[in-house]
Amino acid sequence: MILRISRLGLRRKKVGKDMDKLEEYQRWQNNLARVRFPRWKELPTLGLYVDQVVAIVNEQLSHLGIEPLTKSMVNNYVKKKVIQAPIKKKYAVNQLVDLLLIGLLKSNFSLDDIRAGIAQVTINSYPQAAYDRFVEILNALLAGKEIPSDNVINPESDRLMTLALKSVLSRMHAAQLLNAMQKIAQPAPLEEK
């Protein structure tokens, strides 16, 4: 009888620790719900050097736990014509926006697909309107709220942005939940036959 009680006590402690690990995931979700990406007008409009651009982009990406961009990555994007070249080594707000989008989407999409998506969405919309709508969708998804309707961006572009963002956020959620679950228990290794 005493042996059973002590085993129950150990089991309760383990369940408590397991819940703590899942609470870490819940805290991550709660923190994610408070993240807000800046709209176009909230971004610096003066020409920025690459170090400043990288710092701004990485500050935003770090809130989401996304791998930071480096100066060499930005230089490669310029060489590959994924973003426009800076003028006199200074980057404008449109290049900053492109780098924010690339940083956010690069884990799920190729650079060519990201560039094609940006070009497609901005065919019928100004880049500022398209980016602000992208941020509106992102911020709503992060907060777990309904995406507000919009009549400025065409419905297909709106759907493309929504699906791309949902895929990125779903991947992030899956990775965080897997990490929490792995802290609770490790599966047995597969046996070779």
Burial of 52 (0-12, 13-18, 19+ CB in 10 A): middle
User: Does any domain span residue 180?
Assistant: no
Q: Is 31 domain-assigned?
A: no
Is 33 inside a domain boundary?
no
What totals of helices (H) and strands (E) does the chain contain, helices first?
7, 0
In a domain, residue 105? The reply is: yes
Q: CB–CB of 114/90 below 8 Å?
A: no
Our measurement of the distance from residue 100's CA atom to the centroid of its chain's CA atoms, rounded to an integer in Å, reads: 10
φ, ψ (nearest 5 deg) of residue 92: -95, 175
Each residue's pLDDT expressed in tens, for the chain with a length of 193 residues: 444 444 444 444 455 556 677 888 899 889 899 999 999 999 998 899 999 999 999 999 998 889 999 999 999 999 999 999 999 999 999 999 999 999 999 999 999 999 999 999 999 889 999 999 999 999 999 999 999 998 889 999 999 999 999 999 999 999 999 988 888 877 778 887 6
Q: 10 Å Cβ neighbour count for 11?
A: 10
Query: Which range marks the domain in which residue 133 is found?
Result: 39-173
Instruction: Indicate whether 184 belongs to any domain.
Output: no
Residue 148 lies in a domain: yes
Within a domain: residue 106?
A: yes
In a domain, 191, yes or no: no
Number of domains in the chain: 1
- Residues facing 91 on adjacent strands: 48
Residue 161 Cα distances to 61, 88, 140, 181, angstroms: 18, 32, 12, 30
